[in-house]
Amino acid sequence: MNEIARQLGIRYPIIQGGMGNASNAILAAAVSNAGGLGMIGAGTMSPEEVERIIVDTKQRTSCPFGVNIAINVSPYVNEIIQLIIKHGVKAVSLSAGNPAPYIPLLKEHGITILSVAASVLHARKAESAGADMIVGEGYEAAGINSHLETTTFALIPQLADAVRIPIIAAGGIGDGRGLAAALALGASGVQMGTRLIATKESMMHEHYIASIIESHDFSTKIIGKSVNQVRRVLPTPYVEHILQLEKEGLTAEQYRKLTAEKYHVKAAVEGKLGEGFINSGQISGLIQDVPSVEALIQTMAADAIKKINEVQSLLK
């Protein structure tokens, strides 16, 4: 059996990427009910907000789900870990920071630890610290990104050679072909963000979903490169403003303020594209429809199996 599916107690090795401040129970429960692993993104939310979503998710699914904590983003890492323990949440994904200090307590409570890494070095460190799985995230991915710029296609086989724990590929995966490719590269599963935004159960604003559908293969922009805080987004008037400020020599502190999570909420959840930014990965160009999460996951799994069988004939 697939090691990721076995450890997490899920049917398909398909994980919802944490989406900070834009998570709700409906989407996380839909992913879990469809056989994947739903993931609540804690972002900068207060422990009370996170607890409300955990409780709501538990009411909507009896299947396992997880919580993502972006370590250098959340002011409440320890409080949220206590909530995860209290509510018996199956899995935690730790990103954007050093996971090592948090791993022993999580392990003590039998919680499966996914650690997000964009390099072999960080994956090895997370493995040594006791993480159960590595989410290998390439530069194609939506949102906060690594300045190292290694793409998923190059990263995953290198991670597969470097660590013994299972790998989940993230960044640029949106259909069964992406799933099949990730497995062929040495991953045991995939994590998706952008593709799940354009689903029936997504609570993102219709302007955000429309921007994804209208985008093409090179629509996404990188902001924050000049201050070494890289983020992949779709162009909005607000993003153009940030890019202009970067040309004029924006400081890291000014950039951090302009990209506070509240500006993602403004555009992504409230639909005010002039007042904020919307995270998106390069795979947005592939996305043409808004299926239910269940239909998406079923189709991906079936298409991946078909694709894996088909490609064999290309080498015979």
Ligand X SMILES: Cc1cc2nc3c(=O)[nH]c(=O)nc-3n(C[C@H](O)[C@H](O)[C@H](O)COP(=O)(O)O)c2cc1C
Q: Which DSSP state fits 37? A: B
Tell me the C-alpha distance between 73 and 64, whole Å.
Answer: 25
- What is the pattern of x (binds ligand X, CB under 6 A) and - over residues 208-247? ----------------------------------------
The only residue of 139, 279, 286, 293 in contact with ligand X, by rule CB under 6 A: 279
The only residue of 36, 66, 143, 176 in contact with ligand X, by rule CB under 6 A: 143
- Tell which positions 72-111 bind ligand X, by CB under 6 A: 95
Tell me the C-alpha distance between 138 and 147, whole Å.
Answer: 10
The only residue of 170, 212, 242, 286 in contact with ligand X, by rule CB under 6 A: 170
Are 30 and 38 contacting, i.e. CB atoms less than 8 angstroms apart? Answer: yes
Q: Report the nearest approach of ligand X to the CB of residue 94 (Å).
A: 8
Closest to ligand X by CB, 127 vs 140, is 140
The only residue of 51, 127, 132, 137 in contact with ligand X, by rule CB under 6 A: 137
Q: Please tell me the total number of residues recorded for the chain in this structure.
A: 316
> CA gyration radius for the chain?
18
The only residue of 32, 68, 188, 220 in contact with ligand X, by rule CB under 6 A: 68
70 near ligand X, rule: CB under 6 A: yes
In 3D, which of 203, 177, 170 has the Cα closest to residue 17?
170
191 near ligand X, rule: CB under 6 A: yes
Parallel, antiparallel or unpaired: strands 231-234 and 221-223: antiparallel
CA angle 124, 128, 132 (to 5 degrees): 90
In 3D, which of 98, 24, 102 has the Cα closest to residue 65?
24
Closest to ligand X by CB, 206 vs 310, is 206
Tell me the C-alpha distance between 89 and 66, whole Å.
Answer: 6
Q: Report the nearest approach of ligand X to the CB of residue 312 (Å).
A: 27
10 near ligand X, rule: CB under 6 A: no
By CB under 6 A, name the binding residues for ligand X: 17-20, 22, 41, 43, 68, 70, 95, 116, 137, 140-143, 170-173, 191-195, 197, 268, 279, 281, 283
